A = this chain, B = another copy of it.
Amino acid sequence: MTTANERSADYPIDPIFLERWSPRAFTGESISEKDLFTMLEAARWAASSGNVQPWRFIYAHRNTAHWEKFVGLLVPGNQVWAKNASALVILVSNSLVKRPGSDAEVLSPTHSFDTGTASGYFALQASLMGWHAHGMAGFDRERAFVELNVSKGYTVEFAYAVGRLGDPTKLPVALQAREHPSTRLPLKELAFEGLFQAASTAKA
């Protein structure tokens, strides 16, 4: 129904959801503060439970004082390509929330979930601007917590490499083969009326 970016949707969704993807070949050009903050501004407008907005963003532009520290937090398999990004962003969430009518803080059941919503907004806005935001779980969360001076009560969630699409032939050969938009599981394995159904054997 909607086709874009080598992908076909089964229902007529807006093409922005197909157009966003996660390349690894980046040009290494610089990104303006305005462009990076425009992506963060979109994330800012995400919905969250009770509008508590648990998301926080710690960023480094390439060729700045913090850059090597950020690259060094990534696993080697991500460093090899993400070192050519224009900016790196670490997402952190406030794990604690005040109960209504109280100053006592309790663990939020949605701090990671809500921050994932902001993350989705961030990557969509990047894509709309002609940038790419490639999300990474592969980094050292414990070391990020210490080296980025994250406060107690906050959780290190996720990382992004933001860049302009570069020449894929400059990637290591094994990554060149993966440099295309990924597919998805069929909706019938993800959506169920009334009652949950355990996974079938089919894979995307």
Contacts and interface: CB of A to CB of B under 8 A. Distances in A.
- Counting every copy of the chain, the complex holds 2
A194 B120 contact: no
Nearest to A14: B128
B125 A116 contact: no
Interface string A40-80: 11101111011101011111110011100100000000000
Interface string A177-204: 0000010110100111111101100001
A41 B10 contact: yes
A66 B131 CA distance: 43
A71 to B, nearest CB: 13
Given A13-B45, A53-B204, A194 B60 contact: yes
A194 B56 contact: no
Interface size of A as a range: 35 or more
A180 to B, nearest CB: 12
Nearest to A152: B198
A9 B194 contact: no
A194 B14 contact: no
A184 B121 CA distance: 14
A3 interface: no
Interface string A115-136: 1111111011100100000011
B22 A47 contact: yes
Contact of A45 (B7, B121, B135): B7
13 contacts: A10-B37, A10-B41, A11-B40, A13-B41, A13-B42, A17-B46, A41-B187, A44-B184, A56-B192, A58-B194, A109-B141, A112-B113, A149-B196
